[in-house]
Amino acid sequence: MTRRSGLPKRKILAVSHDIGGAQAVYPVIPKLRRKHNLQVDVIAGGFAQKVFTRLRAENTSEDWSDAKIDEYLDENCPDLLLSSTSWKSALEQGFRNRARIRGIPSVVLIDFWNNYRLRWQHATYRFGDGPDHVCVMDKRTAEAMHQEGYPLAQIHVTGQPHLERCYQRNAQSVSESAAQRGVEVLFLTIALASMGLKVDALAPIRVICEALGKWYSRINKPVSLTIRPHPHEAPPADFLDRIREFTPRAVAVQLADRTEPIHLQLKRSDVVLGYITMGLFEARSFGKQAIAIKLTDHPPELVAAMADAGIPLLPFDSEQIVSFLSQPGNGPKQIGTLHQGAAAAITDLCCGLVAKRSSMLSS
């Protein structure tokens, strides 16, 4: 009988740069590491470094050159590449480009419902050739990617591991504490340029402040607004002062401490507002009321995903926002078990591809 400790370990390399992608990959890595015949190494760039702190990742502050990637792959010889996709970084795609030359299978995790083709903008191969195995959140996303030209056979509907983890870990009954105190509102901004918009960043905040001022006059409770800028944003020094110039006196406004984990700020909040940020889905995992403000058209699969999670998409209009907040029955609702089994499905896919490669190399 062969001892398990004597079997050669197969290697998986996980690479990520942005927070969203890293969060999606993170729950998969411990499951893979629990497999007795697998070793998982991790390379973290940019914002992913914080997410991967406990995974003993190799950190990098910049993208790697082809030569450096080649050197790493030749020295470590991974059997599979597991990666996410990032904005303003070619770290993951650089590894995918060089892994493809070596015949190393690639699994890519999509973490959000938009910009599918753009996620391969640094590829040295055609998007329509579909060499990567792509894991997506739902069937609607799979079809949307296919319509953009990606082969359906290479798309795997697995669910989103980060949301699975949030919904399982955070599921709780809705707190009624806001009925006895003031209302805490958290607004999650996003770089509007990433949505293809040239709107003044203060314009949406002005509308939200106006809505909260009107809401205060109806509920007669103190309203506190905390604004948390997106990690890719760098607000000017006078950002808060300019906001306070048009904020109603009944609304106390402040900027969030971005060094504090977002989940702590979500827990303290009664209402969470945003555009199309993952934070709205995370807020729902805490049983919070989350509302998306529509500044532009969104992919139908994103709109449907928000509906599934109980996130209404409201027009960019203060009257309609305050009308929704004031209606009975529009409070937070429980969301069930969305994305259940995502991490396990991706783990199985990776293990299957590693086993297939091992069989091919040994034959």
> How do strand 133-136 and strand 106-109 relate by DSSP bridges?
parallel
Integer Cα distance of 108 and 150 in angstroms? 13
Superfamily in which the 4-166+340-362 domain is placed by CATH: Glycogen Phosphorylase B; (3.40.50.2000)
Q: Which of 287, 286, 209 has its CA nearest to residue 249?
A: 209
**Complete DSSP assignment for 225-255:** EEEE--TT----TTHHHHHHTTS-TTEEEEE
**Are 4-166+340-362 and 172-326 the same fold in CATH?**
yes
Average pLDDT over residues 252-273: 93
pLDDT, position 332: 63
The 10 Å Cβ neighbour count of residue 74 is 10
Asked if 52 and 118 touch (Cβ cutoff 8 Å), the reply is no
Residue 173 pLDDT > 90:
no
In 3-state terms, what secondary structure has residue 313?
Answer: strand
pLDDT, position 221: 87
Residue 223 β-bridge partners? 183, 251
Which CATH number applies to 172-326: 1.10.10.10, 3.40.50.2000, 3.40.366.10, 3.30.360.10?
A: 3.40.50.2000
Residue 292 β-bridge partners? 274, 313
Q: Which of 189, 175, 182 has its CA nearest to residue 212?
A: 182
Dihedrals phi, psi of 185, to nearest 5 degrees:
-115, 130
Residue 109 β-bridge partners? 135
**Per-domain boundaries in the chain:** 4-166+340-362, 172-326
Q: Which of 185, 292, 169 has its CA nearest to residue 248?
A: 185
pLDDT, position 331: 63
Span of 101-110, 233-242, 250-259 with lowest mean pLDDT:
233-242
pLDDT grade for 231, boundaries at 50, 70 and 90: confident
- Taking only the tens place, the pLDDT of each residue in 140-165 is 999 999 999 999 999 999 999 999 99
H-state helical runs in 148-299: 161-170, 202-219, 239-244, 262-268, 278-285
Span of 89-103, 116-130, 170-184 with lowest mean pLDDT:
170-184
